[in-house]
Chain A
Amino acid sequence: MTEKIGVYICHCGTNIAGVVDVQDVSRWVGKELASEGVVIARDYKFMCSSLGQELIQKDIQELGLTRVVVGACSPHLHESTFRNACKEVGLNPYLCELVSLREQDSWVHSDKNAATDKAKAIISGGVSRVIYHEELEPLKVPINPNTLVVGGGIAGIQAALEIADAGYHVYLVEREPSIGGHMAQFDKTFPTLDCSACILTPKMVQVGNHPNITLLTWSEVVNVEGYVGSFDVTVNKKARFIKTDTCTGCGICWEKCPKKVVDEVFEVGMANRKAIYTPFPQAVPKYPVIDAENCTYFINGKCKACEKFCPTGAIDFNQKDEEVIIKVGNIIIATGYDLFDAKRIPQYGCGRYDNVYTSLEFERLSNAAGPTGGNIILKDGKTIPKSVGIVHCVGSRDQNYNEYCSSICCMQSLKFAHLVHERTGAEVYNFYIDIRTPGKGYEEFYNRLLEERTNFVRGKVAEISSFARIPEEEGKLIIQVEDTLISKQRRIPVDMVILSSGLQSRSDAKEVAKMFGISCSAENWYIERHPKLDPIATMTEGIYIAGCAQGPKDIPASVAQGAAAAARVMGKIQQKEISLEPIRATINEEQCSGCRICNDICPFNAILYHEDKMTSEINPALCQGCGTCVAACPAGAISGTGFSNEQVLSQIEGLLLLKSLENEYSYSGD
């Protein structure tokens, strides 16, 4: 045996030592695995402490260790700690193997003897495996200092501005004609009730004027290639039919346009826009777009009113969609959310009864720039409601729709209650399951609403109908609810109902995730690298997430995450080049049959197919070393560094060593 192996067992305080007899494990390893090349086995209270690391380093230097096995916590936590310790004294870090004695043994077992035996077995597996480890060198790639931000809502705007202000270039891609996102549709923001547009539009203007930001609105990312530091992103710039270099945004075109279209996006169907339009007066950029589907000229070849009246000749009916390729080093995805479609709960009457509104519809109704100029009135256009019911948790916390809490609806509903009360003096009923106001100043806002004498009814609304059973209910919307605080069924007649619809992931979230090579939860929210310690990065290097694309959150949280993503990207850019883990898969071209099974299953889009050679090849910078392709290749043509057949099989043999030793003993005992 040429290798000299050191084995180090960590107590992790009582985390491991409380269940596993660490001294026994250490003694056993020193004795029974000496034949495998173990020259020293020690246990220590905290291996990850600097004293613990020094212990290993001293042995490497004095005993000339060529391999190190540490039995401690999960590699997720301290693999890099111990590898760096080895590296500092000249041992290639990939010759150090971390065995998870805590997460995979002591934390999940209570039987001390069995846990101790298991510790011996998995350490033995680690020892057998580490013999076959190779010296690996990390891959270094340069980082393109440009960044792509996808989505121009508040999270994307914040991220773009932070990076641009730091002096780096940002491409901000937005699907709609203007940036601003959902926040631009809101009237007031909770809990301070400051006007949404007043705090948002200065930031939008900053984005529009920033020398370091290339703003691509009315555009969508259609393809992503490359890897961290060097992405090639294809963006489809939809035809705007406006020459942006000559358009001044004066607005004569949309004034003169004779075609009215119901605005289903910004005004959520509550008002009309023209066929040539900007979604709202403060839109950034100021240039309109022509909606070719509804434009009279595109439909029957006549009209061109906009062209006739445009003072600068900026209308161009011949524009075509245009694809541009942009090169960036990092990507921030801030694509936001869709509102839960309340029509999916037919018993709530959304779409059937005129005066049942969704939360976004009510935002427009109460917005001074909205269809009624901020007057909260019924659909008849004149009557001020005398009573309004606000239903919480519509489509959220409901096993039939979305199980999760949408987190913003309670505060949003309280805000609505306040606005209704303030502007109409109506009696307001909030129907809630639980009131959830965890945020700075949020609970205080709830208290304020209680003082304003808003009625709070605890119970999930069963039905909203127009079926009057008593004369007082005639002409009203009747809310049927079980008031669980007084254990009674109640029927509450109101003039208007607001359904506080929950948030859900974008309808195309899954396709977008696939395009960028990131993963989605079951509800199609994007998955962060770590739910607590890294809620910003994804498992794909160089791709970050911010705002509601990651999960429901309010404006302050979206802004914080946008800024945090920007900080992470700037940190990456500062490094100028980055080292990539050398744990990679490679394809043996001789053995590859070109079946392409690996091409589709690779979660990181790292495998390319060469039509000419009829073989596949793995891009080492893109590969994350997950091993999926290695297992799937029917020809066995793919091997993963760090996960070679030899390494895995010898690890299994090592695992079984204890069992075979026991058998030997029992035979000798007979």
Chain B
Amino acid sequence: MKSYAYYPGCSLESLGKNYHISAMEVASKLGLDLQEISDWNCCGATAYYPIDELLAYTLSARNLAIAEQTGLIDFVAPCSACYKNAYSTNKLLKSDPELAEHINYALEADNLKITGSMNVRHLIEVFLEDVGLEEIKHKAIKPLKDIKVAPYYGCQMIRPRKGDENVENPMFFEELISAIGATPIDFSSKTRCCGGSLIITNRSAALDMVSKLLQDATSNNADVIATTCPMCNVNLELYQRQVNHEFGTNYSIPVMYFTQLMGFALGSTEKALKIPRDFFSKISLNIGMEPS
């Protein structure tokens, strides 16, 4: 069983708790050991960077330094913002010795030191690369037949470029959705921003962004939007009513974490995946399954 230094991030303790629980459930089904690092802190999200870059980097660096102590190789984040911050910090401090020195000076107060040795990865990367599509397909004992899924990548997960991957039209999420038996829709807005924390500071601008995503998904007949980030999930799910109020629409489309969909296909119960009852019956109705 391969072990990973797992950094859930703040959102997964509150609004995104179902992401955390379903991620753990899927990982255990796939034989992966996600070891939550101890005494972690907030990554600074998107808000801290414009205020104080150095301190923002130091926040992520502290988590990475704690992870380095575990002796594990991979630093895994399920939240796209956490992933982006950790990845960028880790990469930058290796190319900028001065920054590394500043960060380490700050970390000294906590008896920590960062070398940049962790391999920072998003949770979906781990499933795709370390388990593989074939294995996932093989383990998907309840394939989500006839479910049309909008693969919503969001903007942060693919934007720290790792190599020459296709960031404009990535396809790995679609491949994962196909592997669990569902049908990915052609979702041209899949990498557009959901508005992120703009929902708090400039609500009307963010609602406009959310509405376009909902429109694209529903006009392509998606049954559910799958997300890889707690922020995206909140914006797309909880603000549907506001969008409807603001734009005179009547969107009512389920939004789920990709781990919840995966867990479902891998045979986990709705309880283990923290899927609400009405949610579940909607899905099971579609795929002709009895609620267990």
Residues of A within 8 A of B (CB): 345-347, 352, 465-469
Contact = CB atoms under 8 A, between A and B. Distances in A.
17 contacts: A345-B168, A346-B166, A346-B168, A346-B169, A347-B168, A347-B169, A352-B169, A465-B188, A466-B188, A467-B188, A467-B189, A467-B215, A467-B216, A467-B219, A468-B219, A469-B212, A469-B215
B198 to A, nearest CB: 17
Contacts of A352: 169
Contacts of A468: 219
Contacts of B212: 469
A345 to B, nearest CB: 7
**Chain A interface main SS type:** loop
Most buried by A among B188, B189, B216: B188
Nearest to B212: A469
Contacts of A465: 188
B248 to A, nearest CB: 14
Given A466-B188, A468-B219, 8 more contacts: A345-B168, A346-B166, A347-B168, A352-B169, A465-B188, A467-B189, A467-B216, A469-B212
A345 B212 CA distance: 23
A345 B215 CA distance: 24
Interface of B: 166, 168-169, 188-189, 212, 215-216, 219
Nearest to B220: A467
Contacts of A466: 188
A467 B219 CA distance: 8
B175 to A, nearest CB: 15
A347 B215 CA distance: 19
A218 to B, nearest CB: 34
Nearest to A348: B168
Contacts of A467: 188-189, 215-216, 219
A468 B212 CA distance: 10
Query: Which 10 residue pairs across A and B have the least CB separation, nearest first?
Result: A346-B169, A346-B168, A465-B188, A347-B168, A467-B188, A467-B216, A346-B166, A467-B189, A469-B215, A466-B188
Contacts of A346: 166, 168-169
Most buried by B among A345, A346, A352: A346
A467 B169 CA distance: 15
A465 B166 CA distance: 17
Contacts of A347: 168-169
Contacts of A469: 212, 215
A467 B213 CA distance: 10
Nearest to B170: A346
A467 B166 CA distance: 20
A467 B215 CA distance: 9
A322 B164 CA distance: 40
Contacts of B166: 346
B169 to A, nearest CB: 3
Nearest to B216: A467
Most buried by A among B168, B212, B216, B219: B168
A332 to B, nearest CB: 36
A347 B167 CA distance: 10
B93 to A, nearest CB: 26
Contacts of B216: 467
A305 B168 CA distance: 48
A466 B187 CA distance: 10
Nearest to B191: A347
Contacts of B219: 467-468
B188 to A, nearest CB: 4
A350 to B, nearest CB: 11
B157 to A, nearest CB: 16
A469 B211 CA distance: 10
B225 to A, nearest CB: 15
Contacts of B168: 345-347
A639 to B, nearest CB: 43
A467 B190 CA distance: 11
A467 B150 CA distance: 13
Contacts of B169: 346-347, 352
Nearest to A347: B168
A465 B215 CA distance: 14
B68 to A, nearest CB: 34
A66 to B, nearest CB: 58
A488 B263 CA distance: 45
A349 to B, nearest CB: 9
Nearest to A466: B188
A465 B219 CA distance: 14
A620 B188 CA distance: 62
Contacts of A345: 168
A420 to B, nearest CB: 25
A346 B166 CA distance: 8
Contacts of B215: 467, 469
A434 B199 CA distance: 38
B247 to A, nearest CB: 11
B146 to A, nearest CB: 23
A467 B216 CA distance: 6
A534 to B, nearest CB: 37
Contacts of B188: 465-467
A467 B189 CA distance: 8
A466 B219 CA distance: 11
A221 B212 CA distance: 55
A469 B215 CA distance: 7
A346 B168 CA distance: 6
B193 to A, nearest CB: 14
A468 B168 CA distance: 19
Nearest to B169: A346
A468 B188 CA distance: 10
B246 to A, nearest CB: 15
Most buried by B among A465, A466, A467, A468: A467
A345 B169 CA distance: 9
B270 to A, nearest CB: 32
A543 to B, nearest CB: 34
Nearest to B187: A467
Nearest to B166: A346
A347 to B, nearest CB: 5
B243 to A, nearest CB: 14
Nearest to A463: B188
Nearest to A346: B169
A468 B215 CA distance: 9
A466 B189 CA distance: 10
Nearest to A351: B169
A399 B81 CA distance: 27
B282 to A, nearest CB: 25
A467 B191 CA distance: 14
B221 to A, nearest CB: 13
A317 B212 CA distance: 60
B230 to A, nearest CB: 25
A315 to B, nearest CB: 45
A532 to B, nearest CB: 36
A101 to B, nearest CB: 42
A468 B166 CA distance: 24
A576 B166 CA distance: 56
A352 B166 CA distance: 14
A468 B186 CA distance: 13
A345 B166 CA distance: 9
B158 to A, nearest CB: 12
A546 to B, nearest CB: 33
B65 to A, nearest CB: 34
